[in-house]
Amino acid sequence: MGERLSNDVVEDILGHLPVKSLTRFRCVSKSCDSIITHPTFITKHLKLNLNQSESLVSTNTHSEYLLYTTKVKSRSPSSKHLCAVVCNNDSTLTQISRFEIPSLFEKHSLVGFCNGLFCLASRRNDLNHIIYLWNPSIRMFKKLLATPVTDEYKKEHKRSVVGLAYNSQNNDFKILRLLSVSLGPGAEAEAEIYSLSTDSWRKVVITMESLRGYEPNFGRIVKIDPPCIFLNGALHTLAITSSHHFILSFNVNDESFREIMLPSSPFDVDTNFTQHASFKGSLAFFAFADSLRGAFCNIWVMEEYGVAESWTRIYRVPMIWVGDVRFCGCTDNGEVWIKNSTGLISFDPESPNLNVLGVEDADWVGFTANSMESLILLDGE
């Protein structure tokens, strides 16, 4: 009779398997199920996948992935799927996975994703305090109850922005919930942080520290606009005071807020809308302008993170028309994705050519350098 493998060896073998295989191995034996669902193994599996992903990115041997949600026409109007496709070199797309979004999330929108975990929050005009964490790979979700807005005046004039991030220092997922009141005596932003490791919410005070070394004096934040972009270990959203626009940064490791100045002159007179994003790994700012002189997309990149003087306009891209365009994001290789009446379109800022993709009715769009799946939330069964 052969010698039985030790639990350490079994755990090491299982740690290199994909999530789909691991979910099947749970049925093999109680000992396998015990290993796979243990928090220590879940963390180990996540870190192994993160290391592998970082290795592929560093050697430029990885593919880029498009994530999007779409309605299922053959079912009820509220039925949606989350799709993941590979962005091929010839600008075609190859689907690799498709998950049905639980009907429970019908009144919620995807606001972020990180390491296989997705965050869904109530739509912006709905201040319901219910937020969900969802891991489609293992078909599990977690319902979170943030602090509800009870003041009737604040309900009428308040808006919320939610972002999801991964704290690499202590292997924790965090949610930042920002609330802003646009009018009245209570016109001041509030912040609340959720930690998955402690399964708890706590309020924090937004005391801003400038990345240039001094405390800014722009007055109270009265408006915060999505999205909440996770980059360089921090979440970034656009903040507005009565006289100033800037990017509000939240470092998930030390939980500090900082102000990042926008480019000195990012707006044309005819600017329709703006958007901050990640562009080739750098913080970027997009300004779409449409006028009688033509339509343009101005792309500014912060070449040295946190240094306002390093903002550089690297592209001024002529566009057909931006009046009915929604910005969707950028791939790591610098392709910009937008959506108009024809569907999703990608373009290279260095080329005038537009690539119309075969994706229709995409509600939400995201990009990732890896299609990493994880076991996060499995230990919460």
Q: What's the pLDDT score for residue 117? A: 95
Regarding predicted confidence, which is higher, 79 or 33? 33
Q: What's the pLDDT score for residue 217? A: 54
- DSSP, collapsed to helix, strand or coil, labels residue 104 as helix
299 and 311 in contact (C-beta within 8 Å)? no
The burial of 198, by beta-carbon neighbours within 10 Å (0-12 exposed, 13-18 middle, 19 or more buried), is given as exposed
Q: Position of tokens 């790591």? A: 332
Q: What's the pLDDT score for residue 159? A: 78
The structure tokens listed for 157 are: 């004039």
What pLDDT band is residue 377 in, cutting at 50, 70 and 90? very high
Average pLDDT on 175-203 reads 84
173 — phi, psi (to 5°)?
Answer: -95, 135
**CA 162 to CA 176: how far, in whole Å?**
6
Residue 106: what residue type? E
Regarding predicted confidence, which is higher, 100 or 182? 100
Q: N- to C-terminal Cα distance for the chain?
A: 36
Regarding predicted confidence, which is higher, 291 or 38? 38
The structure tokens listed for 75 are: 């079912």
For the stretch 309-362, pLDDT in tens is 999 999 888 876 555 778 888 888 888 888 877 788 888 888 767 788 878 788
For the stretch 138-148, pLDDT in tens is 999 999 988 87
379 — phi, psi (to 5°)?
Answer: -80, 0
- Cβ of 234: how many Cβ atoms within 10 Å? 25
Q: Which helix (H) or strand (E) holds 54?
A: helix 39-58
The structure tokens listed for 277 are: 């994003």
What pLDDT band is residue 219 in, cutting at 50, 70 and 90? low
Q: What's the pLDDT score for residue 252? A: 94
**CA 262 to CA 285: how far, in whole Å?**
8
Least confident among 37-41, 66-70, 71-75 = 71-75
**CA 345 to CA 349: how far, in whole Å?**
13
Query: 127 pLDDT exceeds 70?
Result: no
Most confident of 39-43, 123-127, 320-324, 342-346: 39-43
Q: What's the pLDDT score for residue 1? A: 47
78 and 338 in contact (C-beta within 8 Å)? no
161 and 152 in contact (C-beta within 8 Å)? no
Query: 90 pLDDT exceeds 90?
Result: no
176 and 165 in contact (C-beta within 8 Å)? yes
Least confident among 63-72, 83-92, 140-149, 288-297 = 288-297
Q: What's the pLDDT score for residue 302? A: 96
Average pLDDT on 153-179 reads 85
